[in-house]
Structure 1
Amino acid sequence: MGTEVYVNSRELILSILLIVEQNGEYSHIAIRNVLDKYRYLDRKDRAFIQIVAEGTIERKLTLDYMISCYSTVKVKKMKPVIREILRMSVYQMKFMDHIPVSAICNEAVNLAKKKGFSNLKGFVNGILRNMARDEKDWEYPDPSIRYSMPQWIYDSFVSWYGEDYAGKMAESSLMKPLLTIRCCHMKNTPKELKLLLEAEGCEVLESGILEDVFYLQHFSSLTELKSFREGRFMVQDLSSVLAGVAASPKKGSRVLDVCAAPGGKSLHLADMMEGTGSIEARDISENKAAMIRENSARISCDNISVRIQDALVLRQEDIGSADLVIADLPCSGLGVLARKSDLKYRIQPEDLETLAQLQRDILTVVSQYVKPGGTLLYSTCTVNPGENIENVRFIEKELPFSRAGIQECLPEGIDALSKEEGCVQLLQGINPCDGFFISKFTRDK
């Protein structure tokens, strides 16, 4: 029985890789769909599937270079099934411990045969066996191959932040981040939550930055944790929590969160406001609205409502009505590459300006909802200055807002790159969180 599951696990990994590569599905969705469908697999097999699938996608450029050193056929010219079998096998061989080379090679050959490529089993076996025998220390021709990062992204990091920071940022994109959670104060204290999670068998690590932020590991599934089902915590990165801290909503405030899914910031603000006031969490589709409702129901927040609303479309009745508008807008995501394995292959250089313009268009609309003297918080999960500091300057020049103090809101342990008034740039690999940008403004009276 164990052998059947072991073989099946690799076939499921192959199916994930093909869906992502050929159908254009997002990797996290493809992986989630497979794991949801095969819930009966034990914890070890589920972890193996996720690790190999994510790792193979994440290190695709590196793997292709390694394969090309042993293949007479260009990787791009290979049959898709064979290419993905080789990628996932090389990943296991070179980036995972305790998997026998013989098992990797045999399973790869068997998988090729099962998928109708018996004529190429020798090709697959030859590449893998030759690579296994050659115990050389790999030297990569450039940082793009070393970090499996498109050259233009790495060059952009260098241009924006210098060679040293660029290397650390690129390296961090290959490190699996720990699951970060935020304690829901209306349900329990941080100390109570930590004890509950430890009683459920989890290892809980303190962030050392904010007392209500923890790193969680050694659990099978979130939904199996009673404390999660009871809404005692929310999955949310430290950087996103810092955005809520910077916003500093007052009790009784009216808040609009204009691109809110999955609802982490809205729920954080609700917690900070202790259930007072009102928060309207908006997003563009029913799917995104459903994510917010699901999290809101689990956390049991009574002061949150959800609306399907295109942020580009002005809602006249809301003009000048909000004490606080949260604009965490669609962006290039260059600060969260470690969390989204395939994003770096999807985003293109020309997308950066398109996204920056989209952000300005949205800001022009949603800023109108802020009442005189109210607050606008603009944030992104990218490190691209064109989407960050340049949009700060756009807001100052084109909209009736002035920068508000934000540095004093930062806890100890956060050394923000940007020292400019009213904004903070966090960098992955430099700060203990995702790459993230936060800026805060006050509407002129």
Structure 2
Amino acid sequence: MRLHRNLCFAVIDGLHLIFNEGDYADKVIQQLLKRDKRWGSRDRGFIAETVYEIVRYKRLYSEIADVKAPYQRDNLWRIFAVWATLKGIKLPDWKYFTDTPSRKIKGRFDELSKIRKFKESIPDWMDDLGVKELGEAIWTKEIAMQNEQADVILRVNTLKTTKKDLQQQLQSEEIETEFLEGYPSALKLTERANVFKTEAFKKGWFEVQDASSQLVAAYLEVKPGMKVVDACAGAGGKTLHLASLMENKGQIIAMDIYESKLKKLKVRAKRNDVHNIEMKVIDSTKPIKKLYDKADRLLIDAPCSGLGVLRRNPDAKWKLGPSFIEDIKKTQAELLSQYSRMVKPGGKMVYATCSILPFENENQIDSFLTSAEGKNFKFVKDKKILAHKSGFDGFYMALLERSED
């Protein structure tokens, strides 16, 4: 591979924004890819994949390069040189790469790769927490999988098309996909591609949604005509799936504390031809209290550590901290306590996270069921998904049923 100056500069600029300014990697990459209209798919792929790779292994590469935050541009070039050397890429005769110690880099890599927190490039506290929660053997496998590049998975919008027809449409646009056994609405891309430029996407035939995430809406056991509340809807990936499963019949109330996210859902719903969603911003306790005892089904897709989806958000490793973990535990317990009151007698709810840690998952459910608010609920079933076993995102979901009063 030959390195091109303008592409490498884009990578360095992106790393500066992510490492020093705290910007989110996905947003930074979106901006970078708009920088030069002459860039082809290979150029854009180089920028996106290189930035993500260096973000993913920030600790390991920084240790090998012997640099620390905040990263001056010269230090970012040193990290880039480590990445390139380990990839077997010949460094050009640029001033940034003068005296790059290739042999020393490879030796340090071999040495540090024997230590998990360096090999998988994670903070000490996260490594300690993972071992405590999952045990040494499972954590080692799981965090290794979280450093693998995630597949691109689509969820067919059954309100507008079928999985087979979507596959044929994408094939006509030179995008190959395959079915996934056990995931009735999923198509996996055999090679990465920009699916958002396809006619199929413009027509609302699919959404990009990981296979594990696609299991959550189905877990809620919704039926057409029901009143369903999605209490942490965000931009609405699971909301749209619920609408599809309900055949656009009944009512879905999509709620979130961020109005900006619900506005994105509004755009997506229009493209998907979904018209049974009502959106409500949670700006006080009033919207919640108005729905007490009203919902046939409730989905609490709770805020969490996101340790099940680090493949998609590698920069989260550097944004999270022990204090956040403690705060999120309290938030999850509060949401279960408050939001569960929206479920009517005989109704059901699903509590879900994209975390793999028991204290955010089954432990939260156990605590809720022994609380005053949870005494009217019974545990029906749960599902724990580990990335190293499934090949997809790490997830948890639990189905609870409220007893008839």
Provide the TM-score with structure 2 as the length reference.
Answer: 0.92
The equivalent residue for 1:195 is 168
> Does the Cα contact within 8 Å between 2:378 and 2:403 map onto a contact in 1?
no
1:301-360 CA-partner distances (Å, limit 9, x unpaired): 011122222486653321111111110011111111111011111111232221011111
Kindly state the Cα deviation for residue 157 of structure 1 after the two structures are TM-superposed: 2.1
Kindly state the Cα deviation for residue 15 of structure 1 after the two structures are TM-superposed: 0.9
Kindly state the Cα deviation for residue 23 of structure 1 after the two structures are TM-superposed: 1.1
> Does the Cα contact within 8 Å between 1:426 and 1:436 map onto a contact in 2?
yes
Q: 1:401 to 1:382 in 2, by over 3 A?
A: farther
> Does the Cα contact within 8 Å between 1:312 and 1:365 map onto a contact in 2?
no
Unmatched 5+ stretches in structure 2:
none
Unmatched 5+ stretches in structure 1:
69-74, 113-123, 406-421
> Does the Cα contact within 8 Å between 2:167 and 2:176 map onto a contact in 1?
no
The equivalent residue for 1:52 is 50
Letter in 2 for 1:83: N
> Does the Cα contact within 8 Å between 2:85 and 2:102 map onto a contact in 1?
no
Pick the aligned partner of 2:110 from 132, 138, 152: 138
The equivalent residue for 2:288 is 315
Q: 1:311 to 1:146 in 2, by over 3 A?
A: farther
Letter in 2 for 1:432: G
Which is further off, 374-383 or 345-354?
345-354
Pick the aligned partner of 1:432 from 391, 402, 405: 391
Equivalent-residue separation in structure 2 for 1:169 and 1:383 (angstroms): 9
Q: Secondary structure at the match of 2:351?
A: strand
Pick the aligned partner of 1:227 from 200, 203, 209: 200
1:77-117 CA-partner distances (Å, limit 9, x unpaired): 7851111111122212213x6x3x133xx34x2xx4xxxxx
1:350-377 CA-partner distances (Å, limit 9, x unpaired): 3222101111112222111111111111
Letter in 1 for 2:75: R
Q: 1:312 to 1:335 in 2, by over 3 A?
A: farther
Equivalent-residue separation in structure 2 for 1:168 and 1:336 (angstroms): 14
Kindly state the Cα deviation for residue 404 of structure 1 after the two structures are TM-superposed: 4.3
> Does the Cα contact within 8 Å between 2:175 and 2:193 map onto a contact in 1?
no
Kindly state the Cα deviation for residue 383 of structure 1 after the two structures are TM-superposed: 1.4
Q: 1:341 to 1:78 in 2, by over 3 A?
A: closer
> Does the Cα contact within 8 Å between 1:250 and 1:273 map onto a contact in 2?
yes
> Does the Cα contact within 8 Å between 2:253 and 2:280 map onto a contact in 1?
yes
Equivalent-residue separation in structure 1 for 2:352 and 2:184 (angstroms): 22
Q: For 1:67-106, what aligned pairs fall within 5 Å after superposition? A: 67-68=65-66, 75-76=67-68, 80-95=72-87, 99=89, 101-103=90-92, 106=93
In the alignment, structure 1 residue 204 sits paired with structure 2 residue 172: no
> Does the Cα contact within 8 Å between 2:64 and 2:108 map onto a contact in 1?
no
Equivalent-residue separation in structure 2 for 1:273 and 1:138 (angstroms): 53
Equivalent-residue separation in structure 1 for 2:137 and 2:187 (angstroms): 29
In the alignment, structure 1 residue 215 sits paired with structure 2 residue 204: no
Q: 1:137 to 1:370 in 2, by over 3 A?
A: closer
Q: 1:230 to 1:170 in 2, by over 3 A?
A: same
Which is further off, 212-221 or 141-150?
212-221
> Does the Cα contact within 8 Å between 2:20 and 2:70 map onto a contact in 1?
no
Equivalent-residue separation in structure 2 for 1:343 and 1:136 (angstroms): 25
Kindly state the Cα deviation for residue 395 of structure 1 after the two structures are TM-superposed: 1.9
Equivalent-residue separation in structure 2 for 1:39 and 1:327 (angstroms): 41
Equivalent-residue separation in structure 2 for 1:79 and 1:375 (angstroms): 50
Equivalent-residue separation in structure 2 for 1:359 and 1:341 (angstroms): 23
Q: 1:130 to 1:206 in 2, by over 3 A?
A: same
Kindly state the Cα deviation for residue 42 of structure 1 after the two structures are TM-superposed: 0.9
Total equivalences in the alignment: 400
Q: Secondary structure at the match of 1:36?
A: coil
1:363-406 CA-partner distances (Å, limit 9, x unpaired): 2221111111111111011112111112101221222443343x
Q: Supply the RMSD in Å over aligned alpha carbons.
A: 2.2
Q: Secondary structure at the match of 1:126?
A: coil
Which is further off, 309-318 or 292-301?
309-318
Kindly state the Cα deviation for residue 275 of structure 1 after the two structures are TM-superposed: 1.0
> Does the Cα contact within 8 Å between 2:234 and 2:258 map onto a contact in 1?
no
> Does the Cα contact within 8 Å between 1:257 and 1:279 map onto a contact in 2?
yes
Structure 1 runs (4+) deviating above 6 angstroms are: none
Kindly state the Cα deviation for residue 437 of structure 1 after the two structures are TM-superposed: 0.8
Equivalent-residue separation in structure 1 for 2:171 and 2:244 (angstroms): 23
In the alignment, structure 1 residue 342 sits paired with structure 2 residue 301: no
Which is further off, 304-313 or 380-389?
304-313
1:36-88 CA-partner distances (Å, limit 9, x unpaired): 344442111100000111111110111122223xxxxxx12785111111112
Equivalent-residue separation in structure 2 for 1:218 and 1:235 (angstroms): 14
Pick the aligned partner of 1:351 from 324, 333, 341: 324
Kindly state the Cα deviation for residue 136 of structure 1 after the two structures are TM-superposed: 8.4
The equivalent residue for 2:377 is 402
> Does the Cα contact within 8 Å between 1:67 and 1:127 map onto a contact in 2?
no
The equivalent residue for 1:361 is 334
Equivalent-residue separation in structure 2 for 1:181 and 1:57 (angstroms): 25
The equivalent residue for 1:375 is 348
> Does the Cα contact within 8 Å between 2:229 and 2:297 map onto a contact in 1?
yes
Equivalent-residue separation in structure 1 for 2:244 and 2:101 (angstroms): 53
Pick the aligned partner of 2:298 from 308, 316, 325: 325
> Does the Cα contact within 8 Å between 2:384 and 2:396 map onto a contact in 1?
yes
1:266-317 CA-partner distances (Å, limit 9, x unpaired): 1111111111101111222232112211211111101112222248665332
Kindly state the Cα deviation for residue 220 of structure 1 after the two structures are TM-superposed: 4.2
Kindly state the Cα deviation for residue 221 of structure 1 after the two structures are TM-superposed: 2.1
Provide the TM-score with structure 1 as the length reference.
Answer: 0.84
